[in-house]
Amino acid sequence: MIRTETIMDMATGDIRQYELLLRMRDPLGELISPASFLPVAERYDLIGAIDKWVVRRAIQMLGEELTRKNRLTFEVNISGRSTGDPELLELIETELEANNVAPEQVIFEITETTAVSNIPRAQEFAAHLNQLGCRFALDDFGAAFASFYYLKHLPFDYLKIDGEFVSNCLSNRTDQLVIRAVVDIAQGLGKETVAEFAADEELVQFLRSQGVDYAQGFHVGRPAPLAEILPVVS
């Protein structure tokens, strides 16, 4: 199943952007996090099929919302293996056209650690997305050792600041400096930033004061099915 997490525009307070979160249910109906089932999917070479299903469903959902006069933007996570799959790029192009969805309505994310493990493949994938008109986000930025070096080599649109630096930033000077540095670099390159783990209003206000463009986290909105969220924001 797919759940959505709200992403807020810090300048306006508007919400039209969501990250899609893939979940499974166990036999008792309890949700299973990706950390539990994705490694198994990778081990049995199922991750490519999962990524394609999520991408297809995401674009279809965007098309469905367009018929309801809701023009939304979805962030969709892609595994490292799928970045080298030409069939995925063909699928993206086909589904966008079939559902009358504008390419800029889809932001594809890969984690920074995934990108670092195979820079040439990440570069090629991001370049193809750019040609299609889709956007590209580097997720969990700051988690890998040589983060800033790779900014030179990846054509990104968004830097998603790793929640490790956000959750305790009000009381941790190092975290504050990292956030400020990431924002300065993104702004200097004409790109935007998203802060994860925005847990309360005080934290949101601090992130806004630092120039962060978007925030997501429990204070902005807890993960939920899209149908439960849209009546509140439409």
- Name the 3-class secondary structure at 15: coil
Closest CA relative to residue 74, chosen from 20, 127, 125: 20
Query: pLDDT category, 79, cuts 50, 70, 90?
Result: confident
CA–chain centroid gap for 178, Å, is 20
Which pTM was predicted?
Answer: 0.90
Query: What is the rounded distance in angstroms from the CA atom of residue 104 to the CA atom of residue 89?
Result: 15
- Name the 3-class secondary structure at 200: coil
The one-letter amino acid code at 134 reads C
What's residue 52's pLDDT? 95
What's residue 234's pLDDT? 42
Segment among 35-44, 141-150, 187-196 with least mean pLDDT: 141-150
Query: What is the rounded distance in angstroms from the CA atom of residue 21 to the CA atom of residue 33?
Result: 9
Which residue shows structure tokens 């997490």? 5
Give the chain's domain count: 1
| Cβ pair 142, 165 in contact under 8 A | yes
Query: pLDDT category, 116, cuts 50, 70, 90?
Result: low
List, for residues 208-225, the tens digit of each pLDDT value: 999 999 999 999 999 998
Give the residue numbers spanning the domain of 126: 2-233
- CATH number of the domain within which 181 lies: 3.20.20.450
